[in-house]
Structure 1
Amino acid sequence: MSESEPKWACEYCTYENYPSSLKCTMCRGPKPFISEDIYRLHGDKINVDENFSSTIGSAAGPLENKSKCPKRPTEYCTYINSSNICIYCGSTPVSANTLHEHIQPLKISQHSDLAQSLSQPRNNSPPASLTNLENSRRTSQAKWICSMCTYENWPKSVKCAMCGSSNGSQRSQAASLIMPSPDRIPESDINQDDRYKDYILDTSQGQNNHENERKMRRLKRNADWNWLNACIGVIEGDPNPVEAYLSSGGDPARTLTASEVAILNRSSAFDVGHTLVHLAIRFQREDLLAVLLSQIEGSGSGVKRVPSYVAPDIAADIRRHFSSTIRQRKGNFPCNFVTEFPTFTLPAEVDELPAPVQDQLFAELLDKDAQEQLENDPAVINWSLDITVRLGSRLYALWNRSAGDCLLDSVMQATWGVFDRDNMLRRALAESLGQGGHIFYPRWKEYESSHASFLQYSLEEGQWEEDWTSLISLASQPGTSLEQLHVFALAHILRRPIIVYGVKYVKSFRGEAIGYARFEGVYLPLLWDQSFCIRTPIALGYTRGHFSALVPIEPYSRIDSRPPVQHGNNMSPDHLRSTFLPLMDRDRKLLPIHFLMESELGREETILRQWLDVCETEGGILVAQQLLHKRPLLVAQMVEEWLNHYRRLSNRLLSSRPIPN
């Protein structure tokens, strides 16, 4: 084709295209057919099939004869065509009055949807198949109206985009699928003003906001808020509402119902069927968990109110301060040690409280079971009138958690008055045994070998190493019970002696002796230099696998008239600010000193006097002097806040008494 050939104009958009272009550059319409139409040249002599002619027209381009193919719109896309077939939708542009002339040549199957639709009278609507498709599309895209705020949401939205409420229709369908049977609905909810029914109606029928608020106000008005506040107190770590609920006779095993969960409105925290114990475990409230378990198991005499529970924020500050006092010794013996040496005692003001308030205080503070076991059959504490009455050194077993960390908790109670909730002391213990094991191991092995030979058995070196590895592993696992070696290591961390008063035999729940308890005795920091340690001990009690802190009541120094205690030939200058711990049992035998080497055996009393301030009472009982210094500021604040609770009880008791005439 020559370059001089003129451009051709598109008959659809009138754009002028280059001769070599087969389609319009603008609208992509076909180039007009320039060659002569062989069918048109013959005129009417040849009867051309309309269907064939339309096919040629669509393939080769629009026919030149505009008079026989006037421009006509199609029914579906309304594009004005000059050809017999629409170049966009492919349909035939025919008019309604000549529709019957064009149906016959198409030869459409009588069973097709299109044939059935074309055979029916036309009403200017698309075929049935297209109508159904359009209707389904419109139905699926119909917006749903929120029942709370009337906002129109897209059909795929599960919740309202404006207020966050669930789709009412979907919610009702889901509720109908999971509706519980009547026999599974808690009877307590059915009998309490149909509250459960109201709650189900609210969630299943998607009522409006006003109706939901009315139902919720009714639920809240009839709710037991003493119980619900206890549930909230557990997850927030507040013991006051929990204690108020238990003190009023509340059941610690009570479960949350569906209506109560709806009132609390915190699906991430509360579930149907949960008890206070479940909540305490879920949110790791160990202090409250111990209180609740003591109520359920019957091991306690009621609500426990130790100082760290009354002032939890101050107790947390004490634990953080204790963590800052832990150091590690450099050199050949990398053992952790503390830099401060407090000794916890009960305040002297306890004796000033009325007898009923004192009874309540001791019931909420002490472990009555441990106290009775240590004082009876045979007594291991408070068995000497010289010590308890004349010297005012009666020991009290503080209540303690029973979660496997009782040894560490009791040590922390005997020194700082708090529990080892953050496992700081356990970490220090594990690090000391792990890094300083080469110093602890020889003394431990020799001590255990002497006991094994006394029982006429021996172990190989591999067995000793396995036992040692097991002991180190126990020290690093929170919640696991500990052994004698761990008490010995704690004496080194505290840099002070630990005296354990324990039962001789471990008994079953039937009272039968099932084994020999070896914990009773004195644990000295023998691996330290004596000048690096203090001589004031702490006391622990051991009863059937459980440790308790044993603490005295602080004496009144200004009114104390106790007889002096002989310290050699001189009077002790600090006896007015001291308590005394017996170093003998009731049979006047010295308490054993654990982890002595064979070369040190037979010199027990001398060793005790080297590490402790040993005194002798008028009755000839050897006692260790426990110096009582001023409480640390944080401990004093915690004790004062705890004591104020019982002072208020005392004031209410006194104000309720009738005034004598």
Structure 2
Amino acid sequence: MMSDEQRTRKWTCDYCTYENFPSAIKCTMCRAPRPFQSEDIFGLYDHHQSAENASPQAELQLGASACQRAASPPSSCKACTYLNRGRDKSCIQCGTANNLHEHIQPLRISPSNADLAASLPRSRNNSPPASLTNLENSRRSKESKWNCIVCTYENWPRTLKCAMCGNTPNNLFSQASSLILSSPERDVQNTSTPIESISQTSNNCEYERKLRHLRRQADWNWLNACNGVIEGDPNPVEVYLSSGGDPARTLTASEVAILNRSSAFDAGHTLVHLAIRFQREDLLAILLSQIEGSGSGIKRVPSYVAPDLAADIRRHFATTIRQRKGNFPCNFVTELPTFALPAEVDELPAPVQEQLFTELLDKDAQEQLESDPAVINWSLDLTVRLGSRLYALWNRSSGDCLLDSVMQATWGVFDRDNALRRALAESLSQGGHVFYPRWKEYEASHASFLQYSLEEGQWKEDWRSLLSLAGQPGTSLEQLHVFALAHILRRPIIVYGVKYVKSFRGEALGYARFEGVYLPLLWESSFCVKTPIALGYTRGHFSALVPLEPYSRLDSRPTSQNPDQMQSTFLPLMDRDRKLLPIHFLTEAELGREEIILRQWLDVCETEDGILVAQHFITKRPLLVAQMVEEWLNHYRRLVQMSSAPFVRPLPIQDYSSDGDTDEE
């Protein structure tokens, strides 16, 4: 309740210090509400009685409140000498700010000092001793204010954000984290890198100056390569590697700060880490091939030069797979392209052409297939007069090399998405009742020739093993799988392979049974095409064998009524001893009719030297494949321009290889 004296005297506004009449409910000057007036509870309290019964902590708090009341004496204004009350923040007469309240700090006792304060002796007037006040002031002096690096406003130590602009300084988080870290960890943080010491300063100008200094000293080839991996751009990566950059180099904290993308870059990461994190398979192939012992060297295949187009081709191929209805539920493809090297390769200068073949072909496989006894390119009549030389494309050496080589021979890409393997596994699983009898009869005839036989349980076990291999990516495949692939592709597959599998020392380990012709004998011949694909087999590894396009592709004049029908190359159906290549999975009734069967499923003709060959027609490339080949070929065209420029520069060599795979199986 308000007393009569309080009702008749004027009241002062707490906001503008204007002195209002007693009847005013709001301030006449600033319209602020009238402060709440109540009884003086301190005057009703008996200090002497409470001092006798109070606990030491309560006495300490009582002394603190007394100090606060005593510490607010009236003070005169320095400008007009008007006598103001101690709690007034500015002079009532002239409005001059009174700084007295900034120097008068109320006594604050933290819980950690409560026991200490309780144990200290008390003075007669029950006020806290000077030692406790000095302790508190010493603690507060250690907590200095911090300046905002944006607006330079001076904030209290425990303020998380600037009270003026809301900015959160970096050094505030480092200071906060140091409060919870042990001293050894704080020492490591304080002595790590120069950029971390920059972040500890509160001067924004100094921070920018030191950061500019680091940028001037930075290796921008290296930093641009890091950004190139994130953005999927191979050009800065190639520039860095061609200049002798180390692919195993790691990012430092200073370089991470310069890149200014904390969500993408971390200290200690290499280009390989970034390529794996952001799934840049083409760039990963380049980087791994540069690391000693991790790759096969310099390789540049079309699918690595144009990875986006290669992915589109694989997705399109998956849409062409269908399943035949009826008694033989086998998968088949609806489009039947044949991949060949562009004829423009033969027009490149010799140095550029040599580099192209070095980066594209599997030189080891090519040498093994052409060495004595030669398996491919052994007839000058075929290679020179008919222009049917075969080239072994470089292939990944994982257990998927058979499927990859089939995809290269048709679409020019690898089976990275395992679409062809899934089609193979489904065909053998659902059409097993048709494949199994022919497979068993063929294997039994070979077993009887070697004078041994198997029981039915063993045949079933071997069949289940073959089905399991077909459905496991990365596992090597057998003859049955090549036979099934001929049905999926609806075309013959000719495998030119070595006679014996040899070790690295040249020792013969066993007889290689892959060489021969695989025909889609379980389909009707009218459902299939007669243009075969060729594969090479060397030391447990398959490679796609492709020819160079005929020169007629470069001639704009029409050579026939059908512009899509091109000239053909020729694949030999005999070995160099003029013996027919074996036809796999023939039944006993079909043995002895090999040449008739070949003429039924292939366009067979005979050369002037009496070599039985199959026509290998080269049709127009699908649009996506043509774009991929053109982009790959443009790289070597640019090299020709560089070599013929007024100031000739050495031809750069960059690495494009598989992601972690090697040439060796």
Do structure 1's residue 632 and structure 2's residue 617 form an aligned pair?
no
The structure with higher relative contact order (CA 8 Å, sep 6+) is 2
Once the 2 structures are TM-superposed, how far is the Cα of residue 397 of structure 1 from its aligned partner? 1.2
Question: C-alpha deviations, 1:515-560, integer Å up to 9, x for none?
Answer: 3332222211111111000000111122223222111111113899
Mean CA deviation greater in 623-632 or 218-227: 218-227
What displacement does 1:198 show? 1.9
Aligned residue in 1 for 2:227? 232
Does 172-181 or 363-372 show the bigger shift? 172-181
**Residue of structure 1 aligned with 2:110, choices 132, 136, 140:** 132
State the match for 1:329 in structure 2.
Answer: 324
- What per-residue deviation string (whole Å, max 9, x for no partner) do you get for residues 203-236 of structure 1? 4x25544444333333333333333333333344
Matched positions, count: 543
**Which of 492-501 and 363-372 deviates more?**
363-372
Q: How far apart are the structure 2 equivalents of 1:398 and 1:616?
A: 27
Q: 1:277–1:118: structure 2 CA closer, same or farther, 3 Å change rule?
A: closer
Select 2:45's aligned residue among 84, 94, 103. 94
* Corresponding residue for residue 590 of structure 2: 600
Matched, 1:346 2:341: yes
Q: Which has the higher mean CA deviation after the structures are superposed, 350-359 or 325-334?
A: 325-334
What is the CA-CA distance between 1:325 and the residue it aligns to?
1.9
Residue 376 (structure 1) shift: 1.9
Equivalent of 1:123, from 62, 67, 72? 67
In structure 2, the partner of 1:3 is none
Alpha-carbon distance in 2 for matches of 1:622, 1:648: 41
Q: Is the 8 A contact 1:148 1:208 kept in 2?
A: no
The separation in 1 between residues aligned to 2:375 and 2:554, in whole angstroms, is 29
Q: Which residue of 2 aligns with 1:8?
A: none
For residue 392 of structure 1, what is the aligned residue in structure 2? 387
- After superposition, give the CA deviation of every residue in 1:388-446 in whole Å (9 maximum; x if it has no partner): 11211111111222343322222121111122233222222222223222222222233
Which residue in the other structure is 2:57 paired with?
Answer: 113
Stretch deviating more after TM superposition (535-544 or 462-471):
462-471
Rounded Cα–Cα distance in structure 1 between residues aligned with 2:599 and 2:426: 30
8 Å CA contact 2:518–2:584 kept in 1: the answer is yes
* 555 and 543 in structure 1: CA distance in 2 versus 1, 3 angstrom threshold: same
Report if aligned partners of 2:64, 2:107 keep a CA contact under 8 Å in 1: no
Query: Match of 2:444, SS?
Result: helix
Q: In 2 relative to 1, CA 484–576 (structure 1 residues): closer, same or farther, beyond 3 Å? A: same
Q: How far did 1:636 drift? A: 2.1
For the 8 Å contact 2:425–2:471, the answer to whether it is kept is: yes
Residue 409 (str. 1) matches residue 415 (str. 2): no
- How far apart, in 2, do the equivalents of 1:606 and 1:380 lie? 23
Partner of 1:198: 194
**2:212 aligns to what?**
217
**Residue number in structure 1 paired with 2:663:** none
Q: CA deviation at 1:339?
A: 1.4
- Work out whether 1:644 is the aligned partner of 2:634: yes
CA distance, structure 1, for counterparts of residue 63 and residue 277 of structure 2: 72
- 2:365 aligns with 370
Measure the CA separation in 2 of the matches of 1:508 and 1:277: 33
1:420-431 to structure 2, matched below 5 A, reads 420-431=415-426
| Residues 1:155 and 1:648: Cα distance change in structure 2 (over 3 Å) | same
| Partners of 2:493 and 2:532 within 8 A in 1 | yes
CA contact (8 A) 1:149 1:163 kept: no
Equivalent runs, 1:493-504 vs 2, <5 Å: 493-504=488-499
Q: For structure 1, which segment, 172-181 or 424-433, has the greater mean C-alpha deviation from structure 2 after superposition?
A: 172-181
Of residues 574, 578, 581, the one that matches 1:591 is 581
Q: 1:208 to 1:294 in 2, by over 3 A?
A: same
Superposed displacement of residue 648, structure 1:
2.2
1:623 is the counterpart of 2:613: yes
User: Which deviations, in whole Å up to 9, do the C-alpha atoms of 1:297-343 show, x marking residues without a partner?
Assistant: 56877542222233333333322332232222111112221111111
Measured at CA, do residues 180 and 143 of structure 1 come closer, stay the same or move farther in structure 2, by a change above 3 Å?
Answer: closer
Show the counterpart of 1:286: 281
1:1-22 deviation digits (Å, cap 9, x = unpaired):
xxxxxxxxxx999xxxxxxxxx
- Is residue 2:264 matched to residue 1:320? no
Residue identity matched to 1:498: I
3-state SS of paired residue (2:110)? helix
Deviation at 1:583, TM superposition (A): 1.6
User: Which of the two has higher C-alpha Rg?
Assistant: 1
2:440 to 433, 445, 456: 445
Q: Deviations over 1:81-132 (max 9, x none)?
A: 9xxxx8xxxx99425xxx224544x3x56xx433566699952479x99843
Letter in 2 for 1:532: F
Contact 1:113–1:129 (CA under 8 A) maintained in structure 2? no
Say yes or no: does 1:383 pair with 2:393. no
Match of 2:537 in 1: 542
2:494 partner SS? strand
TM-score by length of 1: 0.71
| Residue matched to 2:645 | 655
Name the CA distance, whole Å, in 2 between partners of 1:150 and 1:175.
31
2:437 and 2:202 mapped to 1: Cα distance? Answer: 77
Distance change (3 Å), C-alpha of 1:224 and 1:399: farther
Q: Deviations over 1:20-44 (max 9, x none)?
A: xxxxxxxxxxxxxxxxxxxxxxxxx
Aligned residue number for residue 263 of structure 1: 258
The amino acid of 2:275's aligned partner reads: A
Taking structure 1 as reference, are residues 547 and 206 closer, same or farther at Cα in structure 2, changes over 3 Å only?
farther
More divergent stretch after superposition (221-230 vs 605-614): 221-230
Report the Cα offset of residue 496 of structure 1.
0.5
Residues in 2 aligned to 1:121 and 1:317: alpha-carbon distance in whole angstroms: 80
The reply to whether residue 169 of structure 1 matches residue 175 of structure 2 is: yes
Match of 1:518 in 2: 513
Q: Please list the CA deviations of residues 251-292 of structure 1 after superposition, one character each: whole Å capped at 9, or x if unmatched.
A: 333333333333334444434443333333333333443444
Separation in structure 2 between the aligned mates of residue 325 and residue 396 of structure 1, nearest angstrom: 27
Q: Do the aligned partners of residues 579 and 432 (structure 1) sit closer, same or farther apart at CA in structure 2, a change above 3 Å counting?
A: same
Once the two structures are superposed, the pairs formed by residues 237-252 of structure 1 within 5 Å of their partners are 237-252=232-247
User: Cα–Cα, structure 1 residues 645 and 101, in superposed 2: closer, same or farther, change >3 Å?
Assistant: closer
What TM-score results when the alignment is normalised by the length of structure 2?
Answer: 0.71
The residue aligned with 1:69 is none
- Offset of 1:385 from its aligned partner? 1.2
Partner residue of 1:476? 471
User: How do residues 13-32 of structure 1 correspond to structure 2 at under 5 angstroms?
Assistant: none
- The one-letter code sitting in structure 1 at the alignment partner of 2:57 is D
Contact 2:565 2:619 (8 Å CA) reproduced: no
Does structure 2 conserve the Cα–Cα contact (< 8 Å) formed by 1:414 and 1:549? yes
Distance 1:117 1:626, change over 3 A: closer
For structure 2, the residue ranges without an aligned partner over 5 or more in a row are 4-35, 71-105, 115-135, 556-563, 649-665
User: SS of the residue aligned with 1:429?
Assistant: helix
Residues 275, 480 of structure 1: CA spacing in aligned structure 2 closer, same or farther, 3 A cutoff? farther
CA distance in 2, matches of 1:132, 1:576: 93
Indicate if the aligned counterparts of 2:566 and 2:618 stay in contact, CA closer than 8 A: no
AA matched with 1:518: R
Q: Give the Cα separation in 1 of the matches to 2:362 and 2:545.
A: 10
For 2:401 and 2:588, the matched residues in 1 are separated by 31
Identity among equivalent pairs (%): 73
Q: 1:620 to 1:441 in 2, by over 3 A?
A: same
Equivalents in 2 of 1:501, 1:398: separation in Å?
Answer: 14
Q: Distance between the aligned counterparts of 2:405 and 2:569, measured in 1?
A: 19
SS at match of 2:272: helix
